Amino acid sequence: GYRSLVTFATDPNIELWEKSITPPGYDGGDEIDTTTMHNDTYRTRNPRALKTLTPFSMTCAYDPIVFSSLISLINVRTTVTVTFPDGSTLAFYGFLKTFETGELVEGTFPEATCAVVPTNQDATGIEEGPVLVSVAGS
């Protein structure tokens, strides 16, 4: 997983340093039960049409100065970009939902857990899905 990064377009230089990332995934939602009294042997189901880009988390080291920057980033829809170790990127609209600090221990760097929620909507509310840009040859 080295070097995986998360960038927020609203504040690309925010004082967070990624230590671990669980990138977003896809979820098709629960199946739709289509069973009727006309079924003979099996219950039947269909998939849903819409997909969800799932929320994800990351653990970051931080500088306490970040607290003043977080006010302008928490719950603000922006472009979030996950950069994978091969240089490929996944960009989508989303927001930083939580910044939860960990225990402060002498001799260690402060850490926090962050949760990011994909919205798949631009600032005007128009549906926009994620965009994957693969690095050539990977």
Rounded to the nearest 10°, the torsion over CA 63, 67, 72, 73 is 60
Report whether 39 contacts 14 (CB < 8 A).
no
Rounded-to-integer distance, Cα 115 and Cα 104, Å: 20
Task: Give how far the C-alpha of residue 36 lies from the chain's centroid of Cα atoms, to the nearest Å.
Answer: 38
The predicted model scores a pTM of 0.91
119 Cβ contact list (under 8 Å, min separation 6): 77, 92, 93, 94, 95
Per-residue pLDDT of the chain (138 residues; tens, 9 = 90+): 789 999 999 999 999 999 999 999 999 999 999 999 999 999 999 999 999 999 999 999 999 999 999 999 999 999 999 999 999 999 999 999 999 999 999 999 999 999 999 999 998 999 999 999 998 665
Tokens (6 digits) for 33: 């039960």
